[in-house]
């Protein structure tokens, strides 16, 4: 009889601990669950669309302080971010996003194929020497959610 009482007590304690952990998870603040998102951009015709999505994302969560966003660019899309030929609207948006903490990552392989350096891109970019898709995989392994609009 004593063993049954002990077993019941252990089961009750485990159940109570599980219930308490679920209650804590339900009352976490949004800041404690800050999302991390990586946007993947390689289509030149989607540049403005993706930048609009990023702005909407920041606006939807109450500002850049409530989400961590990385933008990884490779392929033809990188041409839109060449400083010498960038659209003034894109230049302005990239500057604002960079100040807000958006990680702007340019694929090193694409940079080589387009014969540009990070200095040839809009301010705020970092070169991803190992390649854009490798950077995306690294970010996903760190808990970033993957978005490819």
Per-residue confidence (pLDDT) for residue 70, from 0 to 100: 98
Same domain, 135 and 99: yes
Per-residue confidence (pLDDT) for residue 26, from 0 to 100: 47
pTM reported for the whole predicted model: 0.78
Per-residue confidence (pLDDT) for residue 121, from 0 to 100: 98
Contacts of 127 (CB under 8 A, 6+ apart): 105, 106, 108, 111, 117, 118
Same domain, 27 and 93: no
Structural domain span for residue 48? 34-147
Looking at residue 32, the DSSP 8-state letter turns out to be: G
Tokens standing for residue 58: 């920041």
Same domain, 100 and 61: yes
Enumerate long-range contacts of 113-118, CB under 8 Å, 24 or more apart.
Answer: 114/78, 114/79, 114/82, 116/78, 116/82
Same domain, 26 and 85: no
Per-residue confidence (pLDDT) for residue 32, from 0 to 100: 58
CATH number at residue 77: 3.40.1260.10
Q: Which residues of the chain have pLDDT under 70?
A: 1-32
Tokens standing for residue 43: 């289509």
């Amino acid at each position: 009889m004593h063993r049954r009482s002990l077993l019941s007590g252990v089961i009750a304690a485990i159940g109570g601990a599980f219930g308490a952990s679920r209650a804590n998870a339900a009352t976490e603040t949004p800041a404690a669950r800050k999302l991390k998102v990586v946007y993947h951009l390689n289509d030149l015709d989607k540049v403005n669309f993706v930048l609009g999505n990023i702005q909407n994302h920041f606006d939807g969560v109450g500002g850049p302080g409530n989400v961590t966003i990385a933008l990884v660019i490779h392929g033809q899309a990188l041409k839109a971010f060449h400083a010498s030929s960038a659209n003034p609207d894109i230049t302005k948006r990239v500057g604002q996003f960079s100040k807000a903490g958006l990680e702007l990552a340019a694929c090193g392989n694409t940079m080589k194929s387009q014969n540009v350096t990070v200095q040839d891109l809009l301010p705020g970019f970092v070169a991803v020497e190992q390649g854009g898709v490798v950077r995306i995989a690294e970010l996903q392994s760190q808990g970033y959610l993957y978005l490819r609009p």
